Amino acid sequence: MSQDESSVSSREREAARLFGLAAELHRQGRLDEAVPAYVQALALGPDLADAYNNLGVIMRSQRKFGAAIACYRRAIALGNPTSGLLSNLGNALRDAGRLEEAIVEHQKAVNMRQDSAPALYNLGLALRDFGQHETAVACFDRALSLRGEYVDCRWDRALTLLQMGRLEEGFAEYEWRWKLPEVTRRSFEAPAWDGGDLGDRTLLLWHEQGFGDMIQFVRCIRSIPRGPDSAVILFCQPELVRLFADVAGLDRVVPGNAAPPPCDVQAPLLSLPWLLGMRDGGTSAAVPYLSAAEDHPFRLPEDPAGRLRVGLVWAGKPTHKNDRNRSSGFTPFVNLLDLPRVAFFSLQKGPRAADVAESASVALVTDLASGIGDFADTAAILAQLDLLIGVDTAVVHLAGALNRPVWTLLPFSCDWRWGVAGETTPWYPSMRLFRQPRPGDWASVFRDLRAELAALAEGVAP
């Protein structure tokens, strides 16, 4: 063996060693250590396709989608891509909002492996996000024919059916959420309620998801079949306790940070549409089903100019998996603030409330969020506003449940409850939907929004 051949062999062995080390660190979740080890391996062995693929996996998990796409493309360029690698690239493209490109790569993955349930599932996700819901469900069904206990696929199939308006079927499938690894079912001594007449029993309903979900589905409580000696207790987030105190059919509200009260049977709130056999999911419930306290001490100051009072919310919970798409941020709202017939108020809570000051707009937007302690406070404010404009957050659900005028701004691929098209929603008669015409296109949404808001403001008498 020549010296050059020996040197090459030595580099290859060291590259393989470093790749093995990086892969082990990766498996242990020590990503900050795994990345430089992969980089060192590639410095010695630039043709290590698996190293690029694994780097892509890490970059995607860290939401660095551009870098993930580049890593996957490099791995593919090194030759002989697998169906799994093509699916990985498709997933990163989907995360980045490049849906048409994602569909192309996922279709390649399926063509390469017709019997791959993951490839079919990933193709279905991209098709659903692109608005091809029927084709997406067909992909999910094919995947499930290959792997019946494919929990993630079952879950996304449920969400897609719900978005398509197939509520009865969708809510039955929605029960698959309990098999998701990230979902933990509460443990109670009382048995699960089967949806039958309560008779004289006490039913404990408990929260499992976010504020918006609770506000949306608390409407179903009034439909529970019960006898005169029964009781229904809601175990919920402390921020909702005062708001839910007067919900029809509810006898008691207990904060979720307290000990669960004794009961005869129990059920999660979001299972009510399925347990009660609601074909419409509860959309026919009378609205409003929540109310603001008439004696609430908060009062908006008088406006001598008689301007339209408009509340704003521009960011949701950052831990929400689709928050990067559903939250517009405050910047596009700045283009509304010059409308002279409108007084703007911020209801934004959390770190993003500081966006107003950071954009030098404090003279144009009055902060109300600093005085909000819970959702009962928010309800009192909404009762005094002429309109709420917000992204998909709990506050728009609350405005809809109060039957207050609300304009909800939606990303192209939105949450299931807003359906697939249209400006209205059966969940909230007072709500108008403004949808992105293309992924990431907030500019079109705010252009239409500005025109509609200007016209509405001009109709308000001075």
CATH value at residue 421: 3.40.50.2000
Per-residue pLDDT at 140: 98
Per-residue pLDDT at 302: 87
* Residue that is last in its domain, among 122, 137, 152: 152
Mean pLDDT to the nearest integer, 180-204: 94
The verdict on 45 and 145 lying in the same domain is: yes
**Alpha-carbon span 237 to 391, nearest angstrom:** 22
Structural domain contains residue 293: no
% of the chain exceeding 90 in pLDDT: 86
The verdict on 228 and 331 lying in the same domain is: no
Structural domain contains residue 179: no
Judge whether residue 461 has pLDDT over 70. Answer: no
Mean pLDDT to the nearest integer, 152-176: 96
Mean pLDDT to the nearest integer, 260-289: 95
Judge whether residue 313 has pLDDT over 80. Answer: yes
* Residue that is last in its domain, among 253, 275, 297: 275
Q: Kindly report, residue by residue over 135-147, the tens digit of the pLDDT.
A: 999 999 999 999 9
Q: Residue 76, SS3?
A: helix
Per-residue pLDDT at 460: 60
**Alpha-carbon span 92 to 102, nearest angstrom:** 8
The verdict on 257 and 315 lying in the same domain is: no
Range of the domain at 137: 10-152
Judge whether residue 198 has pLDDT over 70. Answer: yes
Phi, psi (5° rounding) for residue 425? -135, 135
Q: In 364-420, which ranges are continuous DSSP H helix? A: 375-382, 394-401
Q: Kindly report, residue by residue over 378-407, the tens digit of the pLDDT.
A: 999 999 999 999 999 999 999 999 999 999
Please count the structural domains in the chain.
3
Structural domain contains residue 2: no
Structural domain contains residue 178: no
Residue with tokens 């059920």: 267
Please report, for the domain that includes residue 30, its CATH number: 1.25.40.10
Q: Kindly report, residue by residue over 354-374, the tens digit of the pLDDT.
A: 999 999 999 999 999 988 999
The verdict on 216 and 335 lying in the same domain is: no
Task: Please state at what angle helix 117-129 crosses helix 133-146, rounded to 10 degrees.
Answer: 170
Per-residue pLDDT at 304: 86
The verdict on 326 and 446 lying in the same domain is: yes
For residue 214, give the nearest of 156, 256, 180, 153 by alpha carbon.
Answer: 256
* Residue that is last in its domain, among 231, 260, 275: 275
Structural domain contains residue 192: no
Q: Residue 367, SS3?
A: strand
Maximum CA extent, the chain: 94
**Alpha-carbon span 417 to 164, nearest angstrom:** 9
The verdict on 270 and 218 lying in the same domain is: yes
The verdict on 349 and 449 lying in the same domain is: yes
Q: Kindly report, residue by residue over 9-22, the tens digit of the pLDDT.
A: 788 899 999 999 99
The string over 150-162, giving b where at least 16 C-beta atoms fall within 10 Å of a residue's C-beta and e elsewhere, is: beebbbbbbbbbb
The verdict on 270 and 317 lying in the same domain is: no
Alpha-carbon distances, residue 197 vs 38, 206, 228, 240, 248 (angstroms): 61, 18, 11, 27, 17
Cβ atoms of 44 and 15 within 8 Å: the answer is: yes
Task: Please state at what angle helix 49-61 crosses helix 83-95, rounded to 10 degrees.
Answer: 30
The verdict on 232 and 348 lying in the same domain is: no
**Alpha-carbon span 458 to 462, nearest angstrom:** 9
Per-residue pLDDT at 368: 94
Other C-beta atoms lying within 10 Å of the C-beta of residue 358: 11
Cβ atoms of 19 and 44 within 8 Å: the answer is: no
In DSSP terms, 312 is beta-bridged to 346, 389
The verdict on 252 and 329 lying in the same domain is: no
Structural domain contains residue 400: yes
Please give the full DSSP string across 256-320, using - where no structure is assigned.
TTSPPPP-SEEEEGGGHHHHTT-TTTTTTS-S------TT-S--PPP-TT--EEEEEE----TTS
The verdict on 367 and 245 lying in the same domain is: no
Per-residue pLDDT at 41: 94
Q: Kindly report, residue by residue over 49-95, the tens digit of the pLDDT.
A: 999 999 999 999 999 999 999 999 999 999 889 999 999 999 999 99
Mean pLDDT to the nearest integer, 82-111: 96
The verdict on 214 and 146 lying in the same domain is: no
- Both tokens of 433, joined, read 């939907």
Judge whether residue 4 has pLDDT over 60. Answer: no
Phi, psi (5° rounding) for residue 162? -65, -45
Give the 3-state DSSP-derived string for 391-406, with helices as H, strands as E and coil as C: ECCHHHHHHHHCCCCE
Sheet containing strand 231-236, edge to edge, reads 252-255, 231-236, 202-206, 265-268
For residue 325, give the nearest of 420, 438, 212 by alpha carbon.
Answer: 438
Q: Kindly report, residue by residue over 113-138, the tens digit of the pLDDT.
A: 999 999 999 999 999 999 999 999 99
Single pTM value for the model:
0.92
Structural domain contains residue 100: yes
Each as own residue / partner, the long-range contacts of residues 67-72 (CB below 8 Å, 24 or more positions apart, any chain) are 68/92, 68/95, 69/93, 69/96
**Alpha-carbon span 160 to 136, nearest angstrom:** 8
Name the CA dihedral angle for 222, 228, 232, 233, rounded to a multiple of 10 degrees: 130
Residue 7: pLDDT band by 50, 70, 90 thresholds?
A: low
Structural domain contains residue 187: no
Instruction: Name the average pLDDT for the chain.
Output: 93
Q: Residue 73, SS3?
A: helix
Residue with tokens 């709990």: 394
Judge whether residue 2 has pLDDT over 70. Answer: no
